[in-house]
Amino acid sequence: MFKINENYLKLPGSYLFSTIGRKVEAYMEAHPDQSVIRLGIGDVTQPLAPAIIDALHLAVDEMAEAETFHGYAPDLGYEFLRRAMAEGDYQARGCEITADEVFISDGAKCDSGNIQEIFGTDNKIAVCDPVYPVYVDTNVMAGRAGTYDPAADTWSDVIYMPCTAKNNFVPELPKETPDLLYLCFPNNPTGSAITKAQLQEWVDYANKVGAVIIYDAAYEAYISEPGIPHTIYECEGARTCAIELRSFSKNAGFTGVRLGATIIPKDLKCGEITLHTLWARRHGTKYNGAPYIVQKAGEAVYSQAGKAQLAEQIAYYMKNARTIYQGLKDAGYQVSGGMNAPYIWLKTPGQMTSWEFFDFLLEHAQIVGTPGSGFGPSGEGYFRLTAFGSYENTVAAMERIRQI
Ligand code: MLT
């Protein structure tokens, strides 16, 4: 008789955004006349930039001719995209990352969930609290998280690093030593940012204790202030302790196109074994590469026209972020984030729990947000709104909030 992976049974409920999706569908079915504004999941709403559309069209035409047709992509990614990323995201910032240290994939969500596979199951993970749920859930599935305590909403073998108003939503070094450290900056969900000096402390710490930092840089394009690192490789010593995850979803609107990358420097080793070799082996075995058409679209992100158009797109979303931030402040809410990230983090009013506020906002203003407690125990009493809606909906949402 076959057996299942019982670690899956330990997972409480369903994936956060699936639960929210179902609640919203139920509400809409019961109230078909109401117009719901979705500021929950961080899904983009603006069309792909013209330079990207042009690249997609060209690539589609290439696929129509035998001479220019492309079959399986190289499993680690096309050289043209790996080079564009190494040059555009790293070398241009003075970081020593080469094209063969870039692994192309179909998105950072998959990579952030899959990367734990190359580590032993007895590694101890540390996560920010609140945190993007994929990091924890995938470690639960792998049997690395221990047992779940429903009262505390914590896992016995996970080190939680609280990110609260007191520490400006930037964690302190953990008391217990982890093997794997997940960091995401600019942060999802709190919208906070880390300075280069602060990140350097984490890099020094990881090198000292022999831990690996899994650094999710999905939101780096939203950084607007100086002194905030766009990549962990701006820090000295990061090549020996850090893996970086990159996404095209938020900087180029690829949530429905799917493209991402994982950077593993060849200096990152466990004894004599490079993590680069392990990830290459995994990629080769389990993955057949992101589509040629999509990788050509990704290359266009680094073209002059692409860069200019995407800067405008990001400015559009950041205008939404300012609108939400100010709108909430004016309505008397305690707010943070929204300055270097497309997320605004607010304290729920009047001691409401995060889910109570979710229901309240949906019921009274027909606005969907994300309950902070869905991201971990320190998210309780908080709520996340995303700047990825249309400007018109964002303004309308703030008007509705002012009126409740
Ligand atoms: C979020 O809303 O937290 C993100 O959009 C989810 C994701 O990127 O997978």
6-47+305-403 has which CATH code? 3.90.1150.10
Residue 54, pLDDT score: 98
User: Which residue is it, tokens 């192309």?
Assistant: 104
Instruction: Give residue 43 CA to ligand 1 midpoint distance, Å.
Output: 7
What does the longest C-alpha to C-alpha distance in the chain come to? Answer: 66
Q: For the chain of 404 residues, list the mean pLDDT of each consecutive stretch of 10.
A: 97 90 96 96 97 98 98 95 98 98 97 98 98 97 97 97 97 98 98 98 98 98 97 98 98 98 98 98 94 98 98 98 98 98 98 96 97 96 98 98 95
C-alpha 284 to ligand 1 mean position (Å): 26
pTM value is 0.97
pLDDT score at 75:
86
Alpha-carbon span 152 to 174, nearest angstrom: 19
What CATH class is the domain 53-303?
A: alpha beta
**How many angstroms is it from 228 CA to the middle of ligand 1?**
22
The verdict on the CB of residue 82 being under 6 Å from ligand 1 is no
Determine the residue of 15, 24, 39, 41 to mutate for testing ligand 1's pocket, defined as the one with the most ligand atoms within 8 A of the Cβ atom. Answer: 41
Q: Which of 16, 17, 105 to mutate to test the pocket of ligand 1 (most atoms within 8 A of CB)?
A: 17
- For 166, counting Cβ atoms within 10 Å of its Cβ (0-12 exposed, 13-18 middle, 19+ buried), the class is exposed
Give the C-alpha separation, 29 to 193, whole Å: 38
Ligand 1 within 6 A of CB of 42: yes
Taking the domains of the chain in order of start, what are their residue ranges? 6-47+305-403, 53-303
**Contacts of 267 by beta carbon, 8 Å cutoff, 6+ apart:** 239, 240, 274
Q: How far apart are CA 129 and CA 70, in angstroms?
A: 44
CA of 187 to the centre of ligand 1 (A): 11
Atom of ligand 1 nearest to the CA of 132: 3
Determine if the peptide bond prior to 32 is cis (ω within 30°): no
Instruction: State in Å: Cα 251 to ligand 1 middle.
Output: 13
Cα–Cα nearest to 248, from 26, 75, 4, 56 = 56
Residue 278: count of CB within 10 angstroms of its CB: 15
Which residue owns the Cα nearest ligand 1 atom 1? Answer: 42
